[in-house]
Amino acid sequence: MERRITRSAARAAAALIAKEENSPSATQAPNTTKANKRKRLDPTGNSNASNALNTHKINTTDLKSPSNDNTTIKQEKPVLPPAPFDELPHNLGSVPVPLSIATETTVSITGSDKENQTLNGNQVINLATELQDTVDKATTKLKKEPKIQTTPTGRKLKKSTYGLTPGISPFPELGRPTTEECENVNELLSSIHGVVTAPATIPEPSLTVTGCGEVPSVLDALIRTLLSGATTGNNAAKAFGGLVQRFGVLSEGIGKGSVNWDAVRQATVKDVFEAIKSGGLADIKSKNLKAILDIVHEDNQARRATLLNSESKNDSMSKLVPEKAEKDKQYEIACADQNVLSLNHLHNLSTEEAMTDLIKYPGIGPKTAACVILFCLQRPCFAVDTHIFRLCRWLGWIPARANEVTAFSHLEVRIPDHLKYSLHQLFIRHGKTCPRCRAATGESSAGWENGCIIDHLLTRDGKRKGNGPTVVSKDKAAAKSAASKRKRTNKDSEEESDESESSISDEASDE
């Protein structure tokens, strides 16, 4: 039966050969060639190493550690018959190399037409350490990769978290705004726009105005805010009115006064598009609206199954007093039973948890989520829209490199909670009405001479009217486009162009 050589025996044989090469007899033979050395390493020849492997156990006294004469490396097992070194079995596992041998032994890499290349023991150890570090870093990176979130039925959710940094400013070097600065700006803006305070109770939902989500139902607030994004208040109201007319309102039961969102969910995307097309951006909003309602329905049914399991504990309710927890539990079950879509369980989450939950839905970013948290959940949250972003940049409260998401993360940390509601409202009012702080205004704008209550605090940037190239307003650009179309189209197309121009003009005036 053929026996194979072990790795430890191979290393020991290499050590014996190295010792012989360093012996006086070896130094007296200067004519030894590389070919002779290779021949001596050949286990099939009559070399001393081969004889040693075939006839006896390796003498442990020959493997004394150079650093300690009294220390020996024990070799208990007998050496097996020769086998080619390049045919060692692959199931031997890893055998640790004693440091005393590793630091002295050289590893030869022999090629047919190349010179021998050698690595000493320390280089081998360093190389192994570097490789292990690379593997560890790669493994750590893989572990940190976020898992793809899915709904209970396997639907993939949006993976982006927008780079939010809850509780931590992305610009820690900027110590502004201070509490004193916020108080000062709030007082100045209140003197001309009126004092703003958060309502104690949320008003009943309007069926004609979308608003910014200041309604009792969280789902209503989310959809209303979605429709009001990237358009004017008038256009958003038209879109919401289209949903009311096409799908109706719940007249009784748990969701009384709310749009029949389950009917919207069961409709086709085309039907939803037709209902909201007068509000602008209907193509993308109709798809997002349908996807949101599908996900909410799936989540509602999954939560119902969980709540009916008496042995389960719902995380969002575990922090509540027993009476409220039981009431909320029964409310959620009833909503699911009656197919009344609901997100009201978000009331039981922390602000950070609610933000994370809201931005998972298609088309919902930090601004929309922050509005729902501020107006519907009634939590301090400083939502940043285009007017707020512009004014905060001019005030020096955010750096020039900030975008609306990083601005939100910074201002959410810096602005005191008791001023978040009022400053949000005041900045929007001022950004829409002040002749000097509206978008694309300048010294030639009407009312510029009336001044601005916070003018002494601002450093305006960007192209302004009267300061550099003229900024073409939206209504003028639309009129030019409409005139061009009239040259190429018939009378019906002209009427459609006039309507489009009028719509854009309304948007420009609202801005």
Q: Of 199, 202, 228, 239, nearest to 217 (Cα)?
A: 202
**Rounded average pLDDT over 100-108:** 44
Looking at residue 58, its pLDDT comes to 43
- What is the pTM (predicted TM-score) of this model? 0.61
Looking at residue 210, its pLDDT comes to 64
**Rounded average pLDDT over 136-161:** 59
DSSP per position, 352-417: HHHHHHHTTSTT--HHHHHHIIIIIS--------HHHHHHHHHHTSS-TT--HHHHHHHHHHHS-H
Cβ count near 66 (within 10 Å):
10
Residue 83 pLDDT > 60? no
Looking at residue 64, its pLDDT comes to 47
User: What does the pLDDT look like over 168-224, one tens digit per residue?
Assistant: 999 999 999 999 999 999 999 999 999 999 988 876 766 666 666 677 889 999 999
Residue 296 pLDDT > 70? yes
Looking at residue 113, its pLDDT comes to 45
User: What does the pLDDT look like over 330-368, one tens digit per residue?
Assistant: 888 998 899 899 999 999 999 999 999 999 999 999 999
Cβ count near 450 (within 10 Å):
9
**Rounded average pLDDT over 477-504:** 41
Average pLDDT over the chain reads 74
Q: How confident is the model at residue 118 (pLDDT cuts 50, 70, 90)?
A: low
Looking at residue 492, its pLDDT comes to 39
Looking at residue 22, its pLDDT comes to 62
**Which residues face 64 on adjacent strands?**
72
Q: How confident is the model at residue 329 (pLDDT cuts 50, 70, 90)?
A: confident
Looking at residue 276, its pLDDT comes to 95
Residue 463 pLDDT > 80? no
Domains and CATH numbers, the chain: 160-198+384-460 (1.10.1670.10), 204-313+322-377 (1.10.340.30)
Residue 498 pLDDT > 60? no
Rounded distance, CA 369 to CA 346, Å? 12
**Rounded average pLDDT over 256-271:** 93
User: What does the pLDDT look like over 41-81, one tens digit per residue?
Assistant: 454 444 444 444 444 444 444 444 444 445 444 445 555 55
Return the CA Rg of the chain.
38
